[in-house]
Structure 1
Amino acid sequence: MDDALHNEHFTLSPIGHVVSDYPDKFGIPRQPGLAPAAQATLVLTPPYNDPLTVRGLEDFSHLWLTFIFHQSPERWSPLIRPPRLGGNKKVGVFASRSTHRPNRLGLSLVALTDINTQNGVTLTLSGCDLVSGTPVVDIKPYLPWAEALPDARSGFAPNTPSLIEVIFHPTALAALAQRQDGATLHALIEQVLRQDPRPAYQQKDAASGRLYSVRLRDADIKFQPYQNSEATTLEVVAIESYETPSSNA
């Protein structure tokens, strides 16, 4: 019986896909909820887009999404280097939340803000940490009385990541002022950059003058690090529009 289970293969069928503020992987917070201004929709696909599948879901404020890291390579390693450890120390893949996993499955806790059952089913989410186009394979309601354990041990990531200062050049502020979503995009940029999306090995080099770019919604955000009063500051120097590529359902 054990051998039969060991050799059995399971097939997962996506129930829908995410359309989010993150067209690219770079810049996405490493955990959900760290950028509450991030908006997304989960579009369910047939036959799972029957309104009956979400009856009663409106009574829950948060959802667990099980998804596939579809942009990660299928290869995996038993040891990985978590960014929270500076990208130097290795831990086991099952002691991490690395995207490079044997089955590429991820789990994300998101806030549910709206349900639309006209012409199918679309869920509006906030605090989402998924790249646009991510396939979702399951939805479950979050139960805080069963799943919020404040006394649980958190290993090498016991606290919320430290945040750094983010400032905006007048040119960037002017670009935001021209947009209808300028206020919410400003908040999203600040929430994303305060967590320093740069690779861990580059975060110590604030004097290089290197220009970085992160895409949020339909904007290309240019930012630059510099050292000020012994602390790193990220300055948003430009915000340029670009055409978001369409996502495949």
Structure 2
Amino acid sequence: MEFKPIGVVDSPFHHKFATPRQPAASPSSRAILVLDRTIVAEGCLHSLEGFSHLWVIFHFHQTQWGNPHGKVQPPRLRGEKVGVFASRSPHRPNPIGLSLVKIENIDFKNMHIEISGVDVVDQTPIIDIKPYIGSYDRPEVWQEGWPANIKDSVNKVTWSPQALADSETHGVPNEIKKVVEESLSADVRNRADKKINDPNKVFAAKISDWDFYFQWLGDHFNVVEVIKN
């Protein structure tokens, strides 16, 4: 079995670190689905403008291959394990992802689809796209298992005077600052860093054309510096 990617995602998130774990985590983030005109046929986007949302099926191309475990540790469970098929983990027998995104604009001529609510890394290969159809995709009765018992915390994000000055100097638009805040508010640190809780450690997130440096100060994130890359 072999699939050819139909395109790639032009995303503001350049690395796995700081990429939202779910589309709803960063509704302000925007990306472009760039379809490969040598793969997809003319007219493939006809009538797509009638839909508000889209399923994007993609390849977790930055996930390391190996022998995937039967159980994984979703970040929201703080170390507790569940079966891989009861999770959205990228560490799967077949590293295929599924995201529900909002359609913002369609460029039919160039076969580009602008989307919002992005949770994928830049240049992620697209396997397929399908319209979201509420009458088909939304069941009347549903149960969501362990996530129903999780109360997500939203962390405060502040900007130091230096970071604000850097943002002004380097022309960081408010839209990107909002994306940074949405990303950090969900806590992008791994389990080890959460255990250590070192207030002196500086993290870096590459988002769009800038590197954002930030620290965890015990009860909130503080962006300390911004550099244009």
Q: Distance in 2 between matches of 1:58 and 1:190?
A: 30
Instruction: Work out the CA distance in 2 between the residues paired with 1:13 and 1:138.
Output: 10
Letter in 2 for 1:29: P
Quote the offset at 1:82 in angstroms: 1.2
Distance 1:167 1:11 in 2: 46
How far is the alpha carbon of 1:226 from its aligned partner?
1.1
Asked if structure 2 preserves the Cα contact closer than 8 Å seen for 1:49 and 1:121, the reply is no
Which residue number in structure 1 is paired with residue 123 of structure 2? 133
Give me the CA root mean square deviation: 1.7
Q: What's 1:246 paired with?
A: none
Question: Secondary structure of the residue that 1:29 maps to in structure 2?
Answer: coil
**Conserved? CA contact 2:170–2:228, under 8 Å:** no
The amino acid of 1:140's aligned partner reads K
**Deviation of 1:144 (Å):** 2.1
- Counterpart of 1:144? 134
| Higher alpha-carbon deviation: 94-103 or 201-210 | 201-210
The answer for the alignment partner of 1:191 in structure 2 is 182
Alignment TM-score, normalising by the size of structure 2: 0.92
Q: Does 1:78 align with 2:70?
A: yes
Distance 1:104 1:134 in 2: 12
Deviation, structure 1 residue 151: 5.1
Amino acid at match of 2:70: P
For 2:222, the equivalent position in structure 1 comes to: 235
Report what 2:165 is aligned to: 174
Residues of 1 paired with 2:64 and 2:100: CA distance? Answer: 23
Identity within the alignment, %? 35
Q: Which residue of 1 aligns with 2:88?
A: 97
Residues 148, 179 of structure 1: alpha-carbon distance in 2 compared, 3 angstrom cutoff: farther
> Which residue pairs with 2:18 in the alignment?
27
Structure 1 unpaired stretches of 5+: 1-9, 243-249
**Structure 1 residue 74: Cα displacement:** 2.0
CA distance in 1, matches of 2:129, 2:12: 20
- Gap regions ≥5 residues in structure 2: none
Q: Is the 8 A contact 1:16 1:45 kept in 2?
A: yes
CA distance in 2, matches of 1:189, 1:131: 14
What is the number of residues matched between the two proteins? 227
State the AA in 2 paired with 1:130.
V
CA apart distance, 1:178 = 3.0
Q: CA deviation at 1:33?
A: 2.4
For normalisation by structure 1, the TM-score amounts to 0.85
Aligned: 1:57 with 2:44: no
Larger Rg: 1
